[in-house]
Chain A
């Protein structure tokens, strides 16, 4: 049980506080996520909780502050991001590092070896930490936090910069820890991750508590359902759907994303007008914010874009490599926490969907700007991020950025999967396709987790039933 009351921290006088009067509880058996954009005060809040920073406010772990705990490592496991990539001295071997920490908290060395097994590092335990990838380092940090068998975990951005596979491992670990009765507080930047991992989501906006919601409510309020449709005659279908009152935005070269009309209605409409569909699927995205599409050319947008797109250098290079031939690429839909936070504040001000056809002449200006802004004052962070991403050369790691740009069919596979639940569900199960994927996340996603595809030649016979389309081969998985 973590009870936090009134955390406040101001780094410099006459500057806005990094954290202001943050009050929340994290209960045992529940994963609590602290969601916020870059600079929203998540890390400061966690450091204040363990009193690594001087500030105001009190945090109680089971009724006592962290420094008054008799043996803090045995009660609270803390994983803080380090300035360096490695979790310890780069010249040290992993098992030495862990045994050393075990000795410092009075735990037998056997426990360190057990944890290496549990975190799947046993095979590489005698390698030096300098050769560890971010995912391995983070797992080692988790093992260090778990050395004293604590009942409470405090994890600061544990999945930041990790490949989806490592992130998924972290998620499942955190969930099982909470199921076993532990208290978990995780900070995260992406609403998708918060929805995937947490039972309760606390949203921070510039150091203030924006909302404290159970996960279901959070998903309803913050995540957005749409239908992704792909096929060769999308322009005609888009006209029909707009006529029916739906909201359509282009989604890649051969796809559209439809809001306001159900999947079955779209299927029927396409069938009646003889339009061939290649894909028809529900998906969940973070709620797009209207004002993000507009001010990319105005001076004010730089701030918003900067905070929202830490991985923008990737995006810029991707745009350069694949200019969109048919459509003007839409603004990246708001997968970004910052935009979503604004949305939560002014839900009425931002209708759900951006305009169907963004002004074509705005785009060429918008894209270079996006790229240059990303190297603005936050360049150091961005560079670190880029380095980490370069280590994790997994196409999935940037898939949420690429999701709405032109894609090859292979790249579309993870996109489709992400769409189903907003989280990378077990890649190894994916060739059994979406039924199993939906099942695996079903508990966490009561809404919109069914993910079926609809083929027009099937719907000839059974217009209302949803049929899974043939599974992509395992060769898609190896990427």
Chain B
């Protein structure tokens, strides 16, 4: 049998032939034993397969299977389908954004302040007989300068105190703070 005819028999079986061709071909198939046998074979497969596919289940648990899909959806399509936020949520988001900017600004200012090198003003003494001991308290932001006048004229021997910072005191005229 020619292959074209075989395909025509199959098309007849599958209902893919136009009606005007299908009817006479059907009559011919009924009369031809070879054609009938071939059609019977094709029909057996055609009718046996549907509904007899082996059922198969996903080998992973529901949670694991979904978690992989969800992760890829979030990674590959973050902008396509965002969860629709309620109106209140939108205002909340604006507020949070502003609060975030303000917090960042505060953090920046504080960081810069702390990161700045401590200010140690230069202390110079105009007298050769003057001794100076300096103490700087980083946490208290305070500098204490202990001055001792060893000149013969100096009486009594009392230290002159100069502080700089939070508890700044007026200093001795012998001391300059630049």
B is bound to A: no
